[in-house]
Structures are given as structure tokens and as C-alpha cells.
Amino acid sequence: MTVRAASPLGPGLRSGTLGAALLLAMLLLPATGRATEEFARQTGKKCSACHVDPSGGGELTSDGKAFLSARASAGKAASASPLRHAVRFAAGFLHLLTAVMWFGTILYVHLLLKPAYASRGLPRGELIVGWSSIALIAVTGTVLTLYRIPSWDALLHTRFGILLTIKIGIFLVMTATAFIVTFIVGPRLKARLAPPDPRKKEMTSDELAAFTGKDGLPAYIAHKGTIYDASGSRQWAEGIHFGKHQAGFDLTEALKLAPHGEDRVFRLPAVGKVVPVPASATDRKPLHLRAFYFMAFMNLFLVLGVLLIIALWRWW
């Protein structure tokens, strides 16, 4: 069974349930309280600068009282605005929701599903979803940054600002790889492949991967070297089996963990055989295909980097 890389855009958002749950759990886990986090982020100072107790909280020092008084005078009107709070809440909710969907899907595809169909080019619908997510994250992230960062100095010289700058840099790298895959690598991936022919009786695993049950193609699966057509099965609607298995793959190993036996597969029409990839085709992959794999797996580590930054925000 050939393992193919996932798209940096995070294909198949419905498959990202588990990854999204993991990300959401990390975001919602309670963090240890360390004074007033909002003030510490803005000033870049330790808790002992404003509190008598070095661990934060409780009685204020003279500097702490002066800071609190100045903040109350300067921000009274802004903090009292219901519209300001509503906009910030809406932006934060949409930002988190979109990030959970995008990052959670990338984690799910790479760590659990592993094989993906994007190495033949990205479907139009998933490109729309992916770029919509990128645009929404960019807009909401900008709004949140304007609310949380009062100046360039706070962005570059406070813990919160530095971590935010790193996170923005990671997002820009992921956006750049999505642009390259969409407009440079993607068209070449499609151009290098012959149009899928469902009449073929012998297919390599790469050829089988085209038959995902989408774009008018049948949903083919393989088991012990035989290819079966699952297009007519209600359990394989749109090429997806109970939200977990994608058509276009050899499911011999996956079937060992299924709650049913081989008999369910044998009920499907057999349409061909899986054959090995010719030796000449495995010698050296084209540069654009190798670039696709590199950027896909790089995005996996970038997502882990963003999660690390979120953990550091909550730990500090």
C-alpha cells in the first residue's frame, strides 16, 4: 500500500474530527494562574513588579497601584464598550474554530489516516475550503492582534509579542506552501498523470488512488490484491466509509481491525487486480512531486510548532 502525503491545505475536513478534538482539548485545558496574565503580556514584566507576593496576586506594590490607576483612567471608555467586547469575542471564536478545523485535519491525515489523495492534485472544492480557512484566519488574527498588541515595542519586546510574531511567521510559511502547491506543484501533479481509466483490469496503487468516488469517478478499494467497486454501496457514499476510510486504497490491513469480516468486501463487484509499480517508475520521483511531499510533511511540523506556542502562552 503506497503512503501518500497530505495537502498543506488540509484535505477532507470531515476526516479531521479526532485531530480537531485533540487540538481543542489542548486549548481548553486549565492553565496555572500566574498573576494577571493580560497585564504581564502587555508590560513584559514579572509578577513581582506589581505584586508583593512574587508568585502574583494579592496586595499590590506602589508601582502596581500606579499602573492599575493609570490603566483604569486610560481604558475606562474602551473597556465599557459592548461592541468592542462583541467584536473581540467573535473574532476569537472564528479564529479558534477555523484553526481547529484546519490544523486538526492536518494532524488526523498525517498521524492516523496517513495515505491521502492529494498527490494527484487538489480537488476544486477542497481548494476553496482551504483558502477560505487561510483568509479567515488572517483576518481574525489581525483583529485579535490589534486588540492585544498596543505597539510595535510590545510585539517585539514582550514574551507574548515574541511568541505571537513566531506564530505569524509560521502561518505565513504555511500560506506560502499552500500557494506553491495550489498554483505551481498542483497543476504539474495533474499533468504528469494519465486520465484515470476505470476499464483497466490491472492497476498500480498510484492508479488505484485516483478512484476516490469523487469527480465522477467510481469508488474502488483493494483487498488482498483484488480491486472491488464500492460505488453502489450505501456504506461508501461519496467514497467515504463511516467517515474513516477513503476509497482508492488497499484496505487489507485495515479490514483486520474492522467490526465485520471479509464477506462484506466479497459482496462488492470485483473489477481488477493490483499490480506492482514498474521498477523504472520507482527510480527517481520528479522534482515537483518530491517538493510536494517535503512541503506536506513540513506543514505537519509547523502545526506542532503552533501548538507548542499555544502551550507556552498558557504555561508562562
Higher-confidence residue of 185 and 231: namely 231
Pairing of strands 220-223, 226-229: antiparallel
Q: Residues 295-302: what's their mean pLDDT? A: 84
Q: Do residues 255 and 223 touch, judged by C-beta distance below 8 A?
A: yes
Supply the pLDDT for residue 48.
Answer: 73
209 C-beta neighbours (distance < 10 Å), count: 25
189: which 3 cell numbers?
Answer: 501533479
CA–CA separation, 76 and 88 (whole Å) = 17
Helix (H, G, I), strand (E, B) or coil at 264: helix
Grid coordinates 499490480 are at which residue?
A: 275
Least confident of 43-47, 157-161, 223-227: 43-47
Higher-confidence residue of 190 and 296: namely 296
Residue 64 in this model has a pLDDT that exceeds 60: yes
pTM greater than the 0.85 cutoff = no
Q: Please name the helix (run of DSSP H) or strand (run of DSSP E) that holds residue 270, with its range, or none.
A: strand 270-274
CA–CA separation, 196 and 209 (whole Å) = 10
CA–CA separation, 235 and 87 (whole Å) = 43
Q: Residues 190-213: what's their mean pLDDT? A: 79
CA–CA separation, 29 and 201 (whole Å) = 52
- Convert 187-202 to b/e letters by CB count within 10 Å (16 or more is b): ebbeeeeeebeeeeee
Residue-averaged pLDDT of the chain? 75
Q: Residues 180-202: what's their mean pLDDT? A: 76
Each residue's pLDDT tens digit, 80-131 = 578 888 898 999 999 999 988 888 777 766 665 554 455 555 667 667 878 8
Structural domains in the chain? 13-192 (no CATH), 202-282 (3.10.120.10)
